[in-house]
Protein backbone atom coordinates (compact mmCIF):
# COMPACT_ATOMS: atom_id res chain seq x y z
CA UNK A 1 0.00 0.00 0.00
CA UNK A 2 1.33 3.42 -0.92
CA UNK A 3 0.99 5.79 2.00
CA UNK A 4 0.54 9.50 1.30
CA UNK A 5 2.31 11.97 3.59
CA UNK A 6 0.76 15.20 4.84
CA UNK A 7 2.48 18.54 4.28
CA UNK A 8 3.59 18.51 7.92
CA UNK A 9 5.03 15.01 7.56
CA UNK A 10 6.93 16.03 4.43
CA UNK A 11 8.43 18.92 6.43
CA UNK A 12 9.62 16.39 9.03
CA UNK A 13 11.20 14.33 6.25
CA UNK A 14 12.83 17.46 4.83
CA UNK A 15 14.42 18.06 8.24
CA UNK A 16 15.89 14.55 8.14
CA UNK A 17 16.99 15.17 4.57
CA UNK A 18 18.69 18.43 5.49
CA UNK A 19 20.93 16.55 7.92
CA UNK A 20 21.98 14.25 5.07
CA UNK A 21 22.62 17.18 2.76
CA UNK A 22 24.84 18.76 5.39
CA UNK A 23 26.61 15.48 6.01
CA UNK A 24 27.47 15.05 2.34
CA UNK A 25 29.09 18.49 2.26
CA UNK A 26 31.34 17.34 5.11
CA UNK A 27 32.02 13.94 3.58
CA UNK A 28 33.00 15.54 0.28
CA UNK A 29 35.76 17.42 2.13
CA UNK A 30 36.95 14.22 3.80
CA UNK A 31 37.08 11.94 0.74
CA UNK A 32 40.76 11.82 -0.15
CA UNK A 33 43.56 9.29 -0.57
CA UNK A 34 44.54 7.62 2.70
CA UNK A 35 41.14 7.88 4.40
CA UNK A 36 39.50 4.63 5.48
CA UNK A 37 35.83 3.98 4.96
CA UNK A 38 35.54 3.27 8.69
CA UNK A 39 36.81 6.79 9.43
CA UNK A 40 34.11 8.23 7.15
CA UNK A 41 31.55 6.06 8.89
CA UNK A 42 32.59 7.17 12.37
CA UNK A 43 32.43 10.80 11.31
CA UNK A 44 28.98 10.28 9.78
CA UNK A 45 27.55 8.63 12.88
CA UNK A 46 28.80 11.40 15.13
CA UNK A 47 27.53 14.08 12.72
CA UNK A 48 24.08 12.52 12.50
CA UNK A 49 23.74 12.01 16.27
CA UNK A 50 24.83 15.61 16.89
CA UNK A 51 21.41 16.64 15.56
CA UNK A 52 18.81 16.30 18.28
CA UNK A 53 16.69 13.21 17.84
CA UNK A 54 18.53 11.99 14.74
CA UNK A 55 19.93 8.48 14.38
CA UNK A 56 21.77 6.67 11.59
CA UNK A 57 19.02 4.74 9.87
CA UNK A 58 21.13 2.02 8.28
CA UNK A 59 22.92 0.98 11.47
CA UNK A 60 21.30 -2.27 12.55
CA UNK A 61 18.81 -2.21 9.66
CA UNK A 62 18.56 -5.85 8.58
CA UNK A 63 21.73 -6.28 10.68
CA UNK A 64 23.93 -3.87 8.68
CA UNK A 65 26.86 -2.77 10.89
CA UNK A 66 27.58 0.73 9.52
CA UNK A 67 25.97 4.16 9.45
CA UNK A 68 27.12 4.51 5.84
CA UNK A 69 27.27 2.10 2.95
CA UNK A 70 30.67 2.72 1.34
CA UNK A 71 31.10 1.07 -2.04
CA UNK A 72 34.37 1.52 -3.91
CA UNK A 73 34.90 1.22 -7.71
CA UNK A 74 33.20 -2.03 -8.86
CA UNK A 75 31.11 -2.16 -5.69
CA UNK A 76 27.58 -0.98 -6.45
CA UNK A 77 25.91 -0.77 -3.04
CA UNK A 78 26.03 -2.03 0.57
CA UNK A 79 29.80 -1.90 1.06
CA UNK A 80 30.65 -2.26 4.75
CA UNK A 81 32.87 0.46 6.28
CA UNK A 82 36.23 -0.96 7.32
CA UNK A 83 39.57 0.31 8.56
CA UNK A 84 41.12 -2.05 6.00
CA UNK A 85 39.49 -0.18 3.11
CA UNK A 86 41.58 2.89 2.46
CA UNK A 87 40.79 5.27 -0.40
CA UNK A 88 43.40 5.61 -3.13
CA UNK A 89 43.96 8.26 -5.78
CA UNK A 90 41.72 7.53 -8.77
CA UNK A 91 39.07 5.55 -6.86
CA UNK A 92 35.42 6.39 -6.95
CA UNK A 93 33.38 5.79 -3.81
CA UNK A 94 29.61 5.61 -3.55
CA UNK A 95 28.36 6.72 -0.15
CA UNK A 96 24.78 5.89 0.78
CA UNK A 97 23.26 7.15 4.02
CA UNK A 98 19.94 7.19 5.82
CA UNK A 99 18.77 9.29 8.75
CA UNK A 100 15.72 8.89 10.97
CA UNK A 101 14.66 11.92 12.99
CA UNK A 102 11.47 12.14 15.04
CA UNK A 103 10.33 8.97 13.31
CA UNK A 104 10.83 10.19 9.74
CA UNK A 105 13.41 8.88 7.31
CA UNK A 106 15.64 10.30 4.59
CA UNK A 107 17.86 8.33 2.21
CA UNK A 108 20.45 9.66 -0.24
CA UNK A 109 23.58 8.54 -2.04
CA UNK A 110 26.40 10.17 -3.97
CA UNK A 111 29.49 8.92 -5.77
CA UNK A 112 32.67 10.88 -5.09
CA UNK A 113 35.95 11.03 -6.99
CA UNK A 114 39.06 10.39 -4.90
CA UNK A 115 41.56 12.87 -6.27
CA UNK A 116 41.89 12.73 -10.05
CA UNK A 117 39.87 9.97 -11.70
CA UNK A 118 39.83 8.57 -15.23
CA UNK A 119 37.73 10.22 -17.92
CA UNK A 120 35.59 7.09 -17.96
CA UNK A 121 34.94 7.31 -14.23
CA UNK A 122 34.08 10.99 -14.60
CA UNK A 123 31.70 10.26 -17.47
CA UNK A 124 30.04 7.48 -15.47
CA UNK A 125 29.40 9.80 -12.54
CA UNK A 126 28.06 12.53 -14.83
CA UNK A 127 25.69 10.17 -16.64
CA UNK A 128 24.38 8.71 -13.38
CA UNK A 129 23.88 12.15 -11.82
CA UNK A 130 22.02 13.31 -14.93
CA UNK A 131 19.87 10.19 -14.81
CA UNK A 132 18.81 11.06 -11.28
CA UNK A 133 18.06 14.66 -12.27
CA UNK A 134 15.95 13.44 -15.20
CA UNK A 135 14.11 10.99 -12.97
CA UNK A 136 13.34 13.70 -10.45
CA UNK A 137 11.90 15.94 -13.17
CA UNK A 138 9.57 13.07 -14.10
CA UNK A 139 8.36 12.65 -10.50
CA UNK A 140 5.23 14.69 -11.08
CA UNK A 141 1.65 14.14 -9.88
CA UNK A 142 -0.39 12.58 -12.68
CA UNK A 143 2.56 10.72 -14.15
CA UNK A 144 3.39 7.14 -13.22
CA UNK A 145 6.27 5.27 -11.60
CA UNK A 146 7.09 3.98 -15.09
CA UNK A 147 7.79 7.56 -16.22
CA UNK A 148 10.53 7.78 -13.59
CA UNK A 149 12.26 4.63 -14.83
CA UNK A 150 11.79 5.66 -18.44
CA UNK A 151 13.53 8.96 -17.65
CA UNK A 152 16.50 7.10 -16.18
CA UNK A 153 16.69 4.89 -19.25
CA UNK A 154 16.53 7.84 -21.64
CA UNK A 155 19.28 9.66 -19.75
CA UNK A 156 21.63 6.64 -19.82
CA UNK A 157 20.78 5.62 -23.39
CA UNK A 158 23.59 6.29 -25.81
CA UNK A 159 26.26 6.54 -23.10
CA UNK A 160 27.36 2.93 -23.57
CA UNK A 161 26.88 2.38 -19.84
CA UNK A 162 24.47 -0.05 -18.19
CA UNK A 163 21.69 0.48 -15.67
CA UNK A 164 21.84 -2.00 -12.80
CA UNK A 165 18.54 -3.82 -13.24
CA UNK A 166 18.16 -5.84 -10.06
CA UNK A 167 18.26 -2.97 -7.56
CA UNK A 168 15.47 -0.40 -7.34
CA UNK A 169 14.36 2.76 -5.59
CA UNK A 170 11.48 2.74 -3.14
CA UNK A 171 8.85 4.60 -1.24
CA UNK A 172 10.08 6.02 2.08
CA UNK A 173 8.48 7.54 5.15
CA UNK A 174 8.40 6.19 8.68
CA UNK A 175 10.26 3.20 7.24
CA UNK A 176 13.29 3.12 4.97
CA UNK A 177 11.62 0.84 2.46
CA UNK A 178 7.95 1.40 1.69
CA UNK A 179 5.78 0.87 -1.38
CA UNK A 180 6.07 1.38 -4.28
CA UNK A 181 9.24 -0.03 -5.77
CA UNK A 182 10.81 2.48 -8.16
CA UNK A 183 12.71 0.61 -10.90
CA UNK A 184 15.37 2.41 -12.91
CA UNK A 185 13.77 1.21 -16.11
CA UNK A 186 10.17 1.51 -17.20
CA UNK A 187 7.53 2.59 -19.65
CA UNK A 188 5.90 6.02 -19.45
CA UNK A 189 2.30 5.78 -18.30
CA UNK A 190 2.77 2.41 -16.60
CA UNK A 191 3.05 1.49 -12.94
CA UNK A 192 1.45 3.19 -9.94
CA UNK A 193 0.02 6.68 -10.43
CA UNK A 194 2.08 9.43 -8.79
CA UNK A 195 0.03 11.54 -6.37
CA UNK A 196 0.89 14.55 -4.22
CA UNK A 197 2.03 13.25 -0.84
CA UNK A 198 4.01 10.31 -2.17
CA UNK A 199 7.67 10.31 -1.16
CA UNK A 200 10.13 8.24 -3.19
CA UNK A 201 13.81 7.41 -2.85
CA UNK A 202 14.99 7.52 -6.46
CA UNK A 203 18.37 5.92 -7.00
CA UNK A 204 19.85 5.08 -10.37
CA UNK A 205 22.90 2.81 -10.27
CA UNK A 206 24.91 2.70 -13.49
CA UNK A 207 27.94 0.59 -14.41
CA UNK A 208 30.50 0.73 -17.20
CA UNK A 209 30.39 -2.83 -18.50
CA UNK A 210 27.32 -4.76 -17.42
CA UNK A 211 23.95 -4.60 -15.66
CA UNK A 212 24.74 -7.84 -13.83
CA UNK A 213 25.74 -7.86 -10.17
CA UNK A 214 26.99 -10.40 -7.66
CA UNK A 215 27.16 -10.51 -3.87
CA UNK A 216 30.66 -10.55 -2.39
CA UNK A 217 31.79 -12.98 0.31
CA UNK A 218 30.88 -10.61 3.15
CA UNK A 219 27.25 -11.31 2.29
CA UNK A 220 26.45 -7.60 1.94
CA UNK A 221 28.46 -5.91 -0.77
CA UNK A 222 26.94 -6.00 -4.25
CA UNK A 223 29.47 -5.55 -7.05
CA UNK A 224 29.36 -5.55 -10.82
CA UNK A 225 29.73 -9.07 -12.21
CA UNK A 226 32.56 -8.01 -14.53
CA UNK A 227 34.47 -5.85 -12.08
CA UNK A 228 33.75 -2.63 -13.98
CA UNK A 229 33.11 0.69 -12.23
CA UNK A 230 29.69 1.58 -10.85
CA UNK A 231 28.14 4.87 -9.69
CA UNK A 232 25.07 5.62 -7.55
CA UNK A 233 23.15 8.84 -6.96
CA UNK A 234 20.00 8.99 -4.84
CA UNK A 235 17.62 11.59 -3.48
CA UNK A 236 14.48 11.38 -1.38
CA UNK A 237 11.84 13.24 -3.39
CA UNK A 238 8.30 14.29 -2.47
CA UNK A 239 5.57 14.57 -5.07
CA UNK A 240 3.84 17.89 -4.38
CA UNK A 241 1.17 20.01 -6.05
CA UNK A 242 4.02 22.31 -7.10
CA UNK A 243 6.25 19.65 -8.64
CA UNK A 244 8.93 17.36 -7.26
CA UNK A 245 10.58 18.51 -4.05
CA UNK A 246 14.04 17.13 -3.26
CA UNK A 247 14.08 16.55 0.50
CA UNK A 248 17.76 15.54 0.71
CA UNK A 249 19.11 18.49 -1.28
CA UNK A 250 19.41 22.20 -0.55
CA UNK A 251 16.22 23.43 1.11
CA UNK A 252 13.33 24.44 -1.13
CA UNK A 253 15.12 23.28 -4.25
CA UNK A 254 12.51 22.12 -6.72
CA UNK A 255 13.24 20.58 -10.13
CA UNK A 256 13.74 21.59 -12.92
CA UNK A 257 16.08 24.13 -11.32
CA UNK A 258 17.79 21.13 -9.78
CA UNK A 259 21.51 21.09 -9.42
CA UNK A 260 23.07 18.42 -7.38
CA UNK A 261 26.28 19.95 -6.16
CA UNK A 262 29.68 18.96 -7.37
Q: How far is the CB of 160 from Mg ion (least distance, A)?
A: 26
| CB-nearer residue toward Mg ion: 110 or 130 | 110
Q: How many residues bind Mg ion (CB under 5 A)?
A: 6
| CB-nearer residue toward Mg ion: 12 or 234 | 234
Residue 33 has what DSSP assignment?
A: T
Q: Name residues contacting Mg ion, limited to 93-122 (CB under 5 A).
A: 96, 107, 109
Contact 207, 214 (CB under 8 A): no
- With CA atoms as reference, report the closest residue to 92 among 109, 70, 75, 114: 114
| CB-nearer residue toward Mg ion: 77 or 138 | 77
The answer to whether 75 contacts Mg ion (rule: CB under 5 A) is no
The answer to whether 246 contacts Mg ion (rule: CB under 5 A) is no
User: What whole-number distance in Å separates Cα of residue 41 and Cα of residue 22?
Assistant: 15
Interhelix angle for 119-137 vs 145-156, to 10°? 150
Q: How far is the CB of 119 from Mg ion (least distance, A)?
A: 27
Q: How far is the CB of 107 from Mg ion (least distance, A)?
A: 4
| CB-nearer residue toward Mg ion: 10 or 132 | 132
Q: Name residues contacting Mg ion, limited to 152-211 (CB under 5 A).
A: 201, 203
Q: Which residues bind Mg ion (CB under 5 A)?
A: 96, 107, 109, 201, 203, 234
Amino acid sequence: MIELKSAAEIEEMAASGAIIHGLFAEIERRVEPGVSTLALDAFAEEFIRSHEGAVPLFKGQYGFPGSLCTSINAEVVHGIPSDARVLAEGDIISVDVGVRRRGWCGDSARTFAVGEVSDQAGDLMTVTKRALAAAIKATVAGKHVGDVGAAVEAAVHGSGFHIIRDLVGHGIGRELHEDPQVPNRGTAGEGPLLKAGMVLAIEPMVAVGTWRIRTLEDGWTMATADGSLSAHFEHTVAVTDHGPRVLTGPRERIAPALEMGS
